[in-house]
C-alpha cells in the first residue's frame, strides 16, 4: 500500500477515534438525559464557570430569597479559591457538578489535557468534600481521553436545551426578557456565574436573574436541581 495512503488512513482513524466517536456518545447521552429532564416538567437553572466571589454570591442570595434550588457546574481551581461558596451551595440545597479544573477545550488542546483537566477538577472538589456525580465538560465537548475518564468514573453527562448567551448581554433587562420568554417547564437553562479566560463576570446574569424572579409568573415549585431527575 502506498505510504501516503497508509498515513492518510491512520489520520482518518485517529480523527474518528478522538472526535467523532466521543461526539456520537455525547449526542446519545445528551438526548437521553434531556428527554428525562424535559419529560419531568421541571425547570433546571444551571450555572457554569464559577464560582465567582461576587457574581455567585449574588446569585445564591437571590435564589435563597425566592427559595429556588439550582445546579452549579463549577471549575475546580475557582472552587478551591472560593470554598466558602461551595459550602454555601451544599448548605442551601443546590447541586454541584464538575466543569473541569481550568476550563480546557477538549478539541483545541492536547487530547489528554482535557482528561487531566477533568481529573484535577474532580480532585479539587474532593479536597472540598464534594463527590461530583454530574459532569458538564467545558464547551459541552468531549474527546476520546475525556470520554474514557467519564466512563471510568461513571459521571452523568448533563447538557442544556436553552442557551441564553447571558455572557454576551450588557443590559440585565434584556436577559430578564429572555428568561421570561424561555423559562418554561422542561427547560434546562444554561447561565454563567463566571467567565472563561480570567475575565470577571459582569452584573448582567445576577441582576437579570433577580429581575426575572422578582416578577416571576412561573410556578416556583417547578424549579429543581438535576439531582431531582438524574
CB of 186 to Zn ion, least distance (A): 23
Residue tagged active-site, from 99, 103, 159, 192: 192
C-alpha torsion sign, points 205, 210, 212, 218? positive
C-alpha cell read off for 54: 461576587
Is 192 in the active site? yes
Could you give the CA distance from residue 162 to residue 228 in angstroms, rounded to a whole number?
19
Alpha-carbon dihedral 118, 146, 162, 80, rounded to 10 degrees:
0
CB of 227 to Zn ion, least distance (A): 20
CB of 99 to Zn ion, least distance (A): 6
Residue 48 annotated in active site: yes
**b/e map of 17-41 (b: 16 or more CB within 10 Å)?**
ebbeebbebbeebbeebbeebbebe
Smaller CB separation from Zn ion, 204 or 211: 204
User: What are the residues binding Zn ion (CB under 5 A)?
Assistant: 48-49, 138
Q: What DSSP state is assigned to residue 218? A: S
Q: Which is nearer to Zn ion, 136 or 178 (CB)?
A: 136
Report how far Cα 224 is from the mean position of its chain's Cα atoms.
Answer: 15
Q: Which is nearer to Zn ion, 48 or 166 (CB)?
A: 48
Closest to Zn ion by CB, 50 vs 211, is: 50
Among residues 48, 116, 117, 193, the one annotated as catalytic is: 48
Query: How far apart are CB 118 and Zn ion at their closest, in Å?
Result: 13
DSSP per-residue codes, 54-113: THHHHHHHHHHHTT---EEEE-HHHHHHTHHHHHHHHHTT-EEEE--SS---TTTS-HHH
49 or 169: whose CB is closer to Zn ion? Answer: 49
Q: How far is the CB of 16 from Zn ion (least distance, A)?
A: 26
Annotated catalytic sites, by residue? 48, 192
Amino acid at each position: 500500500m502506498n505510504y501516503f495512503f497508509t498515513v492518510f488512513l491512520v489520520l482518518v482513524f485517529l480523527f474518528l477515534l478522538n472526535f467523532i466517536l466521543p461526539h456520537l456518545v455525547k449526542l446519545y447521552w445528551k438526548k437521553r438525559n434531556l428527554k428525562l429532564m424535559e419529560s419531568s416538567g421541571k425547570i433546571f437553572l444551571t450555572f457554569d464557570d464559577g464560582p465567582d466571589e461576587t457574581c455567585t454570591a449574588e446569585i445564591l442570595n437571590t435564589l435563597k430569597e425566592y427559595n429556588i434550588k439550582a445546579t452549579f457546574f463549577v471549575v475546580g481551581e475557582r472552587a478551591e479559591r472560593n470554598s466558602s461558596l461551595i459550602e454555601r451551595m451544599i448548605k442551601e440545597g443546590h447541586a454541584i457538578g464538575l466543569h473541569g479544573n481550568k476550563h480546557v477545550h477538549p478539541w483545541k488542546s492536547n487530547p489528554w489535557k482535557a482528561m487531566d483537566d477533568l481529573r484535577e477538577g474532580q480532585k479539587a472538589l474532593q479536597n472540598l468534600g464534594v463527590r461530583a456525580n454530574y459532569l458538564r465538560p467545558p464547551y459541552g465537548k468531549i474527546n476520546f481521553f475525556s470520554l474514557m475518564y467519564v466512563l471510568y468514573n461513571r459521571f452523568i453527562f448533563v447538557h442544556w436545551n436553552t442557551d441564553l448567551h447571558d455572557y454576551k448581554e450588557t443590559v440585565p433587562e434584556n436577559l430578564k426578557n429572555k428568561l421570561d420568554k424561555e423559562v418554561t417547564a422542561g427547560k434546562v437553562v444554561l447561565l454563567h456565574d463566571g467567565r472563561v479566560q480570567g475575565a470577571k463576570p459582569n452584573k448582567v446574569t445576577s441582576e437579570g436573574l433577580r429581575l426575572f424572579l422578582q416578577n416571576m409568573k412561573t410556578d416556583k415549585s417547578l424549579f429543581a436541581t438535576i439531582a431531582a431527575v438524574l
